[in-house]
Amino acid sequence: MAVTLRDIARKAGISTSTASRVLNGKTEKYRISQKTQILVQKAAQQLAYRPNQLARGLRLKKTHTIGLVLPDISNPFFAYVARIIQIHAFQAGYSLFVCNTDENQVTEIKQIELLLSYKLDGLIIMPVGVKYEHILRLVQEHLPFVLIDRSFDEIDANSVVVDNYSGAYKAVEHLIENGHHRIAIIQGLPDTYTNTARVKGYRDALSHYHIPVDPDLIVGNDFRQENGYIETKLLLKLETPPTALFTTSDLITLGALQAIYEEHINVPKDISLVAFDDVDFAPYLLAPLSAVQQPKELMGEIAVKLLINDMRSKGKFDKKRIVLEPKLMIRKSVLRVQASQPVAALSD
Amino acid sequence: MAVTLRDIARKAGISTSTASRVLNGKTEKYRISQKTQILVQKAAQQLAYRPNQLARGLRLKKTHTIGLVLPDISNPFFAYVARIIQIHAFQAGYSLFVCNTDENQVTEIKQIELLLSYKLDGLIIMPVGVKYEHILRLVQEHLPFVLIDRSFDEIDANSVVVDNYSGAYKAVEHLIENGHHRIAIIQGLPDTYTNTARVKGYRDALSHYHIPVDPDLIVGNDFRQENGYIETKLLLKLETPPTALFTTSDLITLGALQAIYEEHINVPKDISLVAFDDVDFAPYLLAPLSAVQQPKELMGEIAVKLLINDMRSKGKFDKKRIVLEPKLMIRKSVLRVQASQPVAALSD
DNA sequence: GCCAAAAGAACAAACGTTTGTTCAAATTAT
DNA sequence: ATAATTTGAACAAACGTTTGTTCTTTTGGC
């Protein structure tokens, strides 16, 4: 059915090897005559030849394809990064295989397994959890890969992440500086790289300003919208509800907004809000949202660069761990509390 | 380097063919003894054997992989549909190859070409434009595919789309019923399936209520945020600006919001707004946004079902064209105009 | 104890490429 | 005119599977 090199060879009256060499620009090395060259080119064009990448990959052990493993493509943050990665990969001559893990460790392992069996040249991974045996396997197999958004301090791998600790710290500090003491955090999936650092940033900011950490105000268990919704509902029902809320992902923020909206609560009058992940629509919300902005473009671009370096150098380069600084965008979702003078930080 | 069937065969002391048959559950047909079976299984396990899908695909002419071609993965609408498709494809045992076309006809052709050379089993496509020769080629090559979100009336193919005409009509009618006459539309990429129908819905709604169509109020040229931003800026600068705005994509809406926000214009007091594509955050905007909601889950699910049917039946099934009805979500972004009684529709 | 039949596993070809090597023809040198 | 050299293209093997066919061994019947 499909047109093969054989068909071209037959049509041009030459052998498949010659056809292959012409089509791959190996004409000088193998001294192919002008005449044969145009003969082959014509035949290929007329038959609309399209090389079979399976056969090619099998023979060459190179597929010019990289895989992207991410937790949730419908999450705007991941989707955006995915697009950046796709663009840069494409520019570099690689196509991209995108896989969703649904924030599920088991699915992640399955998906990586799958990608491996397609013999991709490299992988960009946003790993789900706290386990990394399957990632270690990649190291053993010398498969180039880079971790993005989330990493593991324990393993020596290319990675590009944001300083989640610092971002969270800044966000909470901003709330404190505006006079807030009862600050709740809705965390994402516990034991993920990003979540751990964000929660730690939250705790440390409080501690630094000598505000006791109230365990009732640390809630939530995944990065999804439902989590934001439910936990906000519950927080608002507390006997003394928090005066400020720190949400740790864009979807959590969306869920929180939904709950706040339903309860007819006003931001920032009734509750102040700062989010991790600056979403496109943040400025246009009922209360334009103050948020920690991650350098998404940079992350994607660097990830591709690191991966390509790794693939080209066959692992000879040292692994690099890139940490990018997030930026707090201050808008109008934080109220300066009346008895305001900010709690002074004792000593430094 | 990688473990192959050969390695297993050697380790188990049998031939590769036998190993293959055991691993593929062909034991009864080829009468493999229990003893050999467990021998092979053990060897496979110990060596962490992972079949090479390239070789497999080459031999079997089946890759159990489908491709998704979409205009812009960072567009929330497409990203969401992509996720639904991924989930359903995965459930059905297919992995997914996602490609971005950047709303560019040439890139689209390239990407499809690429996917074809990887010998995928089927394709789900959101085509960019008005040309469809490259799609026709798929028909000729008997490659199962389904068009989603956008289709071509001229070709007989599986497709699942939304009734864009009706959605746009409803949206504009809603504005008219609230007393608006000067209604602007920011269109997407001209000559795309979706855009054409949406603009027609707009025009027909106006005509039906005997409101003249003002060409100055039909603006825009692609589905991106910048387009929404620029055109809104310009519309607001008109000597008599429109009292209402109909945006035809989620990103256009975002751009429009950005412009409106910058100009310190109030929605709906100064301008009413209705959008095509109901975004997650619509309810929580400064003015909770009235929007045309598309059944994204259904679209994705149906697309996968159609594709799987097509792949299973090898094109014996008739092609189906599924049209889904969108729903107008009415929130608070439309002002009832003071001298209000709605313009009556003459006759029916 | 011999032959036929059944059981179990190996052989070999094929999928579509690429590429080192060999082979034949044309060209040049002697 | 013959040998040496260059030019141009074909041959064949390999990548890792799957599968129809063949081959060997075991079993059972008489």
pLDDT tens digits for range A80-133: 999 999 999 989 989 888 888 888 899 899 889 988 998 999 999 999 877 899
Are residues A257 and B281, on separate chains, in Cβ contact within 8 Å? yes
Averaged pLDDT of chain B: 91
Which residue is closest, via its CA, to the C1' of C13? B59
Quick one: CA torsion of B217, B218, B219, B225, rounded to 10 degrees? 100
Instruction: Give the three-class secondary structure for A324.
Output: strand
Q: Residues A211-246: pLDDT tens digits? A: 999 999 999 999 989 999 999 999 999 999 999 999
Q: How many CA atoms lie within 13 A of B280 on its CB side?
A: 25
Nucleotides of D under 7 A from a protein CB: 7-12, 14-21
Distance in Å, residue B8 CA to nucleotide D11 C1': 32
* DSSP secondary structure of A26-95: -TTTTT--HHHHHHHHHHHHHHT----HHHHHHHHS--SEEEEEES-TTSHHHHHHHHHHHHHHHHTT-E
Q: Give B122 to chain A, closest Cα distance, Å.
A: 15
Q: Long-range contacts: B154-158, Cβ < 8 Å, 24+?
A: B156/B319, B157/B319, B157/B321, B158/B306, B158/B307, B158/B310, B158/B319, B158/B320, B158/B321
Q: Residues B67-95: pLDDT tens digits? A: 999 998 888 899 999 999 999 998 998 98
CA–CA dist A276, A261 (Å, integer): 19
Q: Which of B58, B86, B111 sits opposite A55 (nearest CB)?
A: B58
Distance in Å, residue B13 CA to nucleotide D28 C1': 29
Q: Which residues pair with B328 in a beta bridge?
A: B292
How does B258-297 read in b/e, with b if 16+ C-beta sit within 10 Å? Answer: bbbbeeeeebbeebbbbbbbbbbbbbbbbbbbbbbbbebe
Tokens matching residue A44: 């290929």
Backbone angles phi, psi at B70, to 5 degrees: -135, 160
Higher-confidence position of B217 and A154:
B217
Are residues A82 and B96, on separate chains, in Cβ contact within 8 Å? no
Instruction: Give the three-class secondary structure for A333.
Output: coil
* DSSP secondary structure of A279-323: -TTGGGBSSPPEEEEP-HHHHHHHHHHHHHHHHHHTT-SPP-EEE
Q: What is residue B283's predicted lDDT score, i.e. its pLDDT?
A: 85
Q: Report how far apart, in Å, the C-alpha atoms of A67 and of each of A195, A277, B321 are.
A: 24, 24, 33
Q: What is residue B340's predicted lDDT score, i.e. its pLDDT?
A: 42
Q: Which residues pair with B186 in a beta bridge?
A: B219, B247
Q: Which residues sit close to strand C, CB under 7 Å?
A: A 2-6, 16-17, 20-21, 23-24, 26, 30, 49-52, 55-56, 58-60; B 9, 13-18, 30-33, 35-36, 55, 58-59, 61
Tokens matching residue B244: 């209402």
Q: What is residue B343's predicted lDDT score, i.e. its pLDDT?
A: 47
Chosen for mutation from B50, B68, B69, B73 (greatest number of chain A CBs closer than 10 Å) is: B73
Q: Which of A53, A62, A49 is closest to A9 using CA atoms?
A: A49
Q: What is residue B346's predicted lDDT score, i.e. its pLDDT?
A: 44
Which chain A residues are within 8 Å of B65, Cβ to Cβ? 118
Which chain A residues are within 8 Å of B99, Cβ to Cβ? 86, 95-96
Chosen for mutation from B98, B267, B299 (greatest number of chain A CBs closer than 10 Å) is: B98
Q: What is residue B165's predicted lDDT score, i.e. its pLDDT?
A: 97
> Tokens 């094109």, residue?
B315
Distance in Å, residue B34 CA to nucleotide C2 C1': 30
All structural domains of chain B, each given as residue ranges with its CATH number in brackets, are: 5-51 (1.10.260.40), 64-159+300-317 (3.40.50.2300), 164-294 (3.40.50.2300)
> Tokens 């268990």, residue?
A221
Q: What is the pTM of this model?
A: 0.87
Q: What is the largest CA-CA distance in chain A?
A: 91
Quick one: CA torsion of A329, A334, A337, A343, rounded to 10 degrees? -40
Q: What is residue B144's predicted lDDT score, i.e. its pLDDT?
A: 95
Helix H or strand E segment including A276: strand A272-276
